[in-house]
A and B are shown apart, each in its own frame.
Chain A
Amino acid sequence: MSAAVEIQNPYLPEPYRLIRRYPLTDDVHFFQVRAVDMDRALSLKYSPGQFMMVSIPGIGEAPFSISSTPSRPGLIEFGIRRVGRITDQIFKLKENSVLGVRGPYGTGFPVDKMEGKNLVIVMGGLGAIPLRSLLQYALDNRDRFAHLALIYGARTPGDMLFRKEFLSLMDRDDIQCLLTVDKDDTGKWPGHVGLPTVLFKHLTNLNPKDTNLVVVGPPVMYKFIVAEALKLNIPKHQILMSLERRMKCGIGKCGHCIIGGYIYTCLEGPTFSYWDVTHMKGLI
C-alpha cells in the first residue's frame, strides 16, 4: 500500500465495446458503443448536448458529441465524420472491438428549464449529431414539452444524417418536422427544397417567451438562424447552441478550448446561449 493512488484518475479511459456501426453518409458513420462493465453502462447518466472523449491507443483522443438520448439507457451513440488522424483510426474499428471512452463531459442543454415550453430544434450538417440526442429526449418525454418542431437543412438528401429516422417523423402529428435540402439530386425528395431559414414561416402561433430554439450547425449557419429567431422575438437566453473547440482533456485543464479568456468550453459549454455569445468575445 506504499504508493496507493488516492485520487481517481479522470484521464484513464474506460473500456467500451463497439456494438454496431454503419454509414450515415460517405464520410459520417454511426457508432454505437456500450461500457464493457454492464453496471457502468446502465448507470451512466448524461444529458443531451454533452460529449465524451474517445481514445485510440497510440493515436490519441478526441471529443465527440453524444447522439443518443439518456432516456434510452445503456447504449451510447456517436456520429463521427472522418476528418483526421483519430477519426481515420476510429473508422477502421470493427464491430465488437474494444475502445477507450471517458466522460460524459460538459454542460448539456438545460432540459429541465426547457420543459413546459415550446422547443424548436434547428440542425445543419453535423449539428444533427448532438441535436438528435435532444430530439429523441423530447420525443421520449413528449408530454413535458409544448410544441415541438424540427428544422434540418442539408445540402442534398444524401448528405442528410439520420435521414430515414427523421423522414419517419413527418408522419407524426406530435412533431412539426421540416426537412429541407439545398438541392434535390434524387428527384424523389419528399421534403422542402431551399435554405432552412425559409422554413421559419411555418413556425406560427409560437409564443416567443415560451419558446426555446436550439441551433447547431456549421459556423456560417448561426448568423442566419439567430437572425430568424430574433425576428420571432425569442429571448436571447432562450436561443441555444453548441460550439466546437480543440480539446485534449475534456475536464478544464489542458486549456485549448478556452474562450473569452477563462471560459473552458469543456466545462461551461459546449452548449451556450446567444446571450453568452453576445457578451463573450470570440465564441462564434
Chain B
Amino acid sequence: MERKKLDIGLYGFTGCNGDQLVIIHSEDKLLDFFASANIRSFSLAKSDNEQTPLDIAFIEGSISSQEQVEHVQEIRQRSALLVAIGNCACYGGIQAMELGREGWDRRFQSVYGENFFEVRTPIESKPIDAFVAVDFRLPGCPIDADQFFAVYSSLIRKTKPQMPDYPVCAECRWRENECLLLKGQLCLGPLIAGGCKAVCPSHNLPCVGCFGPVEEANVSSEFALLKEKGFTVEEIRRRLRIHSGSGVLKSLKNLFGEV
C-alpha cells in the first residue's frame, strides 16, 4: 500500500531550537525521517526551505514578536495540521514564566529601557495556541526523541497519536528510582505528564515539570504533600514557575488559589 508522501514543515520561533536538535541528533532515524515525507521546510536543518502548503507543520518555540504572530498565522493558513512541539510552543516556556502581578510592560522596560528595536516589535511571549489553533501538543524541554517519532509516525498515518495518561511517577517507578518525594525533595512528578522516561529523577534531580501537566493532575493533594514535607507556598510556586508558562497555569486553574 504505497501512500502519497505528505508535505511537512518544521519551524522554530522563540526558544533554543533544542527540539529541532533532538530530531537532528536522532541519527539512526534521520534517513527514514527524510524518506518518510517531503520535508519542505526544516529551519535548523536545511537552507532550501519552501513555503508551500503543508499537511503537517511542527512548530517549536513561543511567539514573542508581532512579526512572529504574522508568520505563525501564515503557516497555520497553509497547514492542514499544526503541531506544537516543546514546552515553549505548548505552554510558553521559561520566557512566558508566570511572574505574578508585575506586568510584562514594566519588566520589559526595566530590562531594555527605551532601546529602539529595529527588526522586531516585541510582545509578551506566549504559547502558539494564544495566536492560532493547535491540533496537537508534544511537550517537553526538550521533547523526547522516541515520543516525537511515535507521534510523527501516527500523524503521517493520519491517526491520532496516543499520549501517556499517567504522570512522570509511573515512568520513574518503572526505572526503579527511589521516590524523591519520599526523600523529602520538591518533586513535581505527580503533576507532570509522562513521556520523558523520568530522565531527571533517574539522575536524582527532582522533576521541574517541563512536559506540562498530566490531564488529571491532583494539584491539591500534591500541594498538601509538599507542605507536609515542609515546603512553603513560595518555594512550590517558584519551582512550578520554571516551565509553567501561561499555558500551564490555564490548565491548572486555581493553582495558587488552593495553597
Q: In the complex, what distance in Å separates the CA atom of A59 from the CA atom of B157? A: 9
Chain B contact residues, majority secondary structure: loop
Note all chain B residues with C-beta closer than 8 A to A25. Answer: none
Q: How many residues of B contact A (CB 8 A)?
A: 5
Those of A80-119 within 8 Å (CB) of chain B: 85, 88-89
Min C-beta distance of A159 to chain B, whole Å: 26
B229 at the interface (CB under 8 A from A): no
Min C-beta distance of A63 to chain B, whole Å: 18
Convert A53-94 into 0s and 1s, putting 1 for each residue whose CB lies closer than 8 angstroms to a CB of B.
Answer: 000001100000000000000000000000001001100000
Please state if B160 and A58 are interface contacts (CB–CB under 8 Å).
Answer: no
Those of B127-181 within 8 Å (CB) of chain A: 153, 157, 159-160, 162
Please state if A85 and B157 are interface contacts (CB–CB under 8 Å).
Answer: no
Convert B63-100 into 0s and 1s, putting 1 for each residue whose CB lies closer than 8 angstroms to a CB of A.
Answer: 00000000000000000000000000000000000000
Note all chain B residues with C-beta closer than 8 A to A58. Answer: 153, 157, 159
Note all chain A residues with C-beta closer than 8 A to B153. Answer: 58
Min C-beta distance of B140 to chain A, whole Å: 22
Those of B177-196 within 8 Å (CB) of chain A: none
Q: In the complex, what distance in Å separates the CA atom of A58 from the CA atom of B159? A: 10
Note all chain A residues with C-beta closer than 8 A to B159. Answer: 58-59, 85, 88-89
Note all chain B residues with C-beta closer than 8 A to A59. Answer: 157, 159
Q: In the complex, what distance in Å separates the CA atom of A58 from the CA atom of B157? A: 9
Among B153, B159, B162, the one with the most A-chain Cβ atoms within 10 Å of its Cβ is: B159
Note all chain B residues with C-beta closer than 8 A to A85. Answer: 159-160, 162
Min C-beta distance of A86 to chain B, whole Å: 9
Note all chain A residues with C-beta closer than 8 A to B162. Answer: 85
Note all chain A residues with C-beta closer than 8 A to B157. Answer: 58-59
Q: In the complex, what distance in Å separates the CA atom of A85 from the CA atom of B163? A: 13
4 tightest CB-CB pairs across the interface, nearest first? A85-B159, A85-B160, A59-B159, A58-B157
Between A and B, 10 residue pairs with Cβ closer than 8 Å are A58-B153, A58-B157, A58-B159, A59-B157, A59-B159, A85-B159, A85-B160, A85-B162, A88-B159, A89-B159
Known contacts A58-B157, A59-B157; can you find 8 more A-B pairs with CB under 8 A? A58-B153, A58-B159, A59-B159, A85-B159, A85-B160, A85-B162, A88-B159, A89-B159
